[in-house]
Amino acid sequence: MISIPLKTDNETGAFILRLSLGVMWVAHAGLKWFTFTIPGFAGWLESIGFSPLFAWPVFLVELIGGLMILTGFYARYASLILIPVMAVAMYTHLPNGWVHVSAGGGWEYPLFLIMASIVHVLNGDGKLTILPKPAL
């Protein structure tokens, strides 16, 4: 068996996860702003039985939460808050199947964001945060 010696660096790993997760949350909000538009997202919410009034709060929570995660500003709390938001999104995509390129989008991408957010909450922020690491 060939062994490649790799030093474990949990702080750097947590930092890379935090940056990647923050970018993905901001991108998820950006999809609502640039592609679907907030009125389009509101219409979609209404078409699946949710109030269209949720469109702005969901967009803002994803955008602000993603920026908080990116900067390390209460980032673990932001991830914790975003988990139920994405759980609802995953629920809405369950009928579409696994792959997100399915018609209407699948549920594997929302599941991945949920799991990555849970790992972030459990592992911490890593390096280069705006505030000291809070104890959760």
Task: Please report, rounded to a whole number, the percentage of residues in the chain having pLDDT higher than 70.
Answer: 93
| Cα 48 to Cα 14, 44, 52, 114, distances in angstroms | 36, 7, 10, 21
What pTM does this model have?
0.87
Query: Does residue 97 or residue 100 have the better pLDDT?
Result: 97
CA distance 18 to 98: 25
Beta carbons within 10 angstroms of residue 125's beta carbon: 26
Instruction: Give the chain's mean pLDDT.
Output: 90
Which one, of 133, 34, 24, lies nearest residue 89 by Cα?
A: 24
Joined tokens for residue 46 = 């209404």
How does residue 103 score in pLDDT terms, banded at 50, 70 and 90? confident
Which one, of 82, 77, 35, lies nearest residue 63 by Cα?
A: 82
